[in-house]
């Protein structure tokens, strides 16, 4: 296929049956898993190589409507790291972001020495944060989560500062028919202003784990993107992952309705479930979020029932169960999910668990606290001390407290309620005034 230069090369190389006196050490047991042999291109040199990866990235950029698309074999984590490094190279020192951003963002900020101005939505873990001029005051750039773990999105506005979007869960949105599903859930490249978008192909597209994109919209400088990706990414990127990214280009080019068909199947399932009284939370087209508390169960209990019925969910917490479908999910998949859901035994409704916003005071910059000498103490002994770690459960990978923040009474109680009984704190005699 003309749209899959990586796949085509790997097929030819396998058929040639060469003696593989190069890495990797399995020597062809996994035929498509190769290194940068002659003609195979190098992931971090595609700005000038003109090779197969460069050709595939160009095709992907065309399909997504990007000025430039860079492949990642390190998930959207690597794309976020590189995107933040680009911002820093352009003078960014302070970046505004939702408090409920993924830990990959905070880790990268700590590594790069970027300060974070936290913004708080009205609801726990919601992506719907205000990005008006007042909220962004003092920030040099903004980090926006496009779809949160429950399937919510943000109100689209155009910030007047550089933008990096965490669209990890929304790569498929580019191929959703807006005439059918509306414009509430847009792909970042459809917003019409300069931005970078980091997105995991492997979450909603038929791509191997680790496959992701860093897209650049028109008007954004991408000249150092590959340089920064090579700083954080492996020098031995997986050609299996690259092959799967390339293969998706061919799949979507041949059948533009692939994503639409899946979305229509999931939409029909949502309608059937709601007609049967299953309490759903509004979510993006390839996700179903169930309010387990209205069924008299915790999310974990609901997930256990689904597991007993042969279905494994994406995430469950005290309130909700999240089921993630993909662009290749079928009507049969949806029917199987529907049967499993309808067999869950329900009880009298329970009130939702309310999570208060944690707004601890800062004891020292995050990038300093993370690398200080630390000690592990019981939560009770951590009150008043400076946190030295990111404490989060993955999924959703949203830290409850960040390095440099002071563990106050409210934070300690919430940590205990989430099963965190010990935490690393900065050794006191090494603390400096902040």
Q: From CA 153, how far away is CA 184, in angstroms rounded?
A: 8
Hey, what are 17's tokens?
A: 């049956």
Q: What is the pTM of this model?
A: 0.95
Confidence of residue 434 (pLDDT cuts 50, 70, 90): very low
Please give the tally of structural domains in the chain. 3
* Residue 355 included in any domain: no
Hey, what are 266's tokens?
A: 């999931």
Same domain, 162 and 37: yes
233, 254, 275 - which closes a domain: 254
Hey, what are 354's tokens?
A: 């309310």
CATH number of the domain that residue 377 is part of: 3.90.105.10
Q: Hey, CA dihedral for 57, 63, 69, 73, is it positive or negative?
A: negative
Same domain, 39 and 123: yes
Same domain, 268 and 166: no
Max CA pair span of the chain = 66
Mean pLDDT along residues 269-282: 97
Mean pLDDT along residues 411-417: 88
Q: Hey, CA dihedral for 27, 74, 193, 181, is it positive or negative?
A: positive
Domain residues for the domain of 34 are 5-254
Same domain, 128 and 171: yes
Same domain, 60 and 116: yes
118 three-state secondary structure: strand
* Residue 204 included in any domain: yes
Same domain, 214 and 275: no
Q: Is 330 a residue whose pLDDT tops 90?
A: yes
CATH number of the domain that residue 333 is part of: 3.90.1150.10
Q: From CA 200, how far away is CA 173, in angstroms rounded?
A: 12
Q: From CA 194, how far away is CA 186, in angstroms rounded?
A: 15
CA 143 to chain centre: 12
Helices 103-112 + 75-89 axis angle, to 10: 40
Asked if 425 contacts 407 with a C-beta cutoff of 8 angstroms, the reply is: yes
pLDDT in tens, 47-79: 988 899 999 999 999 999 999 999 999 999 999
Same domain, 170 and 264: no
* Residue 351 included in any domain: no
Match 């279905």 to its residue by tokens. 311
pLDDT in tens, 125-142: 899 999 989 999 999 999
Same domain, 132 and 232: yes
Same domain, 289 and 375: no
Q: Hey, CA dihedral for 324, 109, 216, 5, is it positive or negative?
A: negative
Same domain, 115 and 193: yes
Confidence of residue 123 (pLDDT cuts 50, 70, 90): confident
Same domain, 201 and 119: yes
Q: Is 430 a residue whose pLDDT tops 70?
A: no
Same domain, 374 and 405: yes
Please, which residues bridge with residue 96 across strands? 117, 142
Match 């989560």 to its residue by tokens. 145
CATH number of the domain that residue 99 is part of: 3.40.640.10
Confidence of residue 432 (pLDDT cuts 50, 70, 90): low
CA distances to 39, 156, 315 from 8, in Å: 12, 40, 37
Stretch among 99-113, 243-257, 405-419 having the lowest mean pLDDT: 405-419
């Amino acid at each position: 296929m003309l749209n899959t230069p990586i796949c085509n090369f790997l097929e030819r190389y396998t058929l040639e049956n060469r003696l593989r006196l190069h890495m990797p050490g399995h020597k062809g047991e996994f035929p498509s898993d190769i290194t940068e042999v002659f003609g195979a291109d190098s992931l971090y040199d595609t700005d000038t190589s003109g090779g197969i990866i460069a050709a595939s990235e160009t095709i992907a950029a065309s399909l997504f409507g990007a000025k430039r698309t860079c492949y990642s074999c390190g998930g959207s984590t690597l794309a976020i790291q590189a995107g933040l490094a680009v911002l820093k190279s352009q003078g960014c020192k302070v970046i505004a972001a939702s408090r409920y951003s993924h830990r990959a963002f905070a880790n990268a900020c700590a590594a790069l020495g970027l300060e974070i101005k936290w913004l708080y939505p009205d609801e726990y873990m919601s992506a719907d944060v205000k990005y008006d001029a007042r909220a962004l005051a003092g920030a040099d750039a903004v980090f926006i989560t496009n779809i949160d773990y429950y399937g919510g999105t943000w109100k689209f506005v155009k910030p007047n500062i550089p933008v990096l979007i965490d669209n990890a869960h929304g790569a498929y949105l580019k191929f959703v028919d807006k005439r059918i599903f509306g414009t509430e859930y847009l792909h970042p490249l459809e917003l019409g202003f300069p931005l970078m978008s980091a997105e995991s192909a492997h979450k909603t597209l038929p791509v191997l784990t680790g496959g992701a994109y860093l897209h650049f919209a028109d008007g954004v400088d991408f000249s150092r993107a590959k340089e920064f990706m090579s700083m954080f990414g492996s020098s031995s990127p997986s050609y299996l992952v690259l092959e799967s990214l390339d293969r998706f280009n061919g799949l979507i080019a041949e059948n533009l309705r692939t994503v639409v068909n899946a979305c229509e199947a999931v939409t029909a399932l949502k309608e059937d479930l709601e007609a049967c009284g299953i309490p759903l939370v509004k979510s993006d087209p390839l996700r179903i979020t169930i309010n387990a508390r209205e069924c008299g169960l915790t999310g974990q209990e609901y997930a256990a029932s689904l597991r007993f019925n042969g279905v494994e969910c994406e995430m469950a917490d005290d309130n909700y169960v999240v089921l993630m479908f993909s662009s290749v999910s079928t009507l049969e998949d949806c029917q199987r999910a529907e049967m499993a859901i309808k067999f869950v035994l329900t009880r009298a409704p329970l009130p939702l668990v309310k999570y208060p916003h944690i707004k601890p005071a800062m004891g020292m910059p995050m990038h300093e606290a993370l690398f200080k000498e630390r000690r592990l103490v019981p939560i009770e002994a951590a009150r008043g001390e400076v946190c030295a770690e990111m404490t989060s459960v993955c999924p959703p990978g949203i830290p409850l407290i960040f390095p440099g923040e002071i563990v106050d009474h409210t934070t300690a109680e919430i940590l205990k309620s989430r099963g965190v009984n010990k935490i690393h704190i900065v050794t006191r005699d090494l603390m400096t005034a902040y």
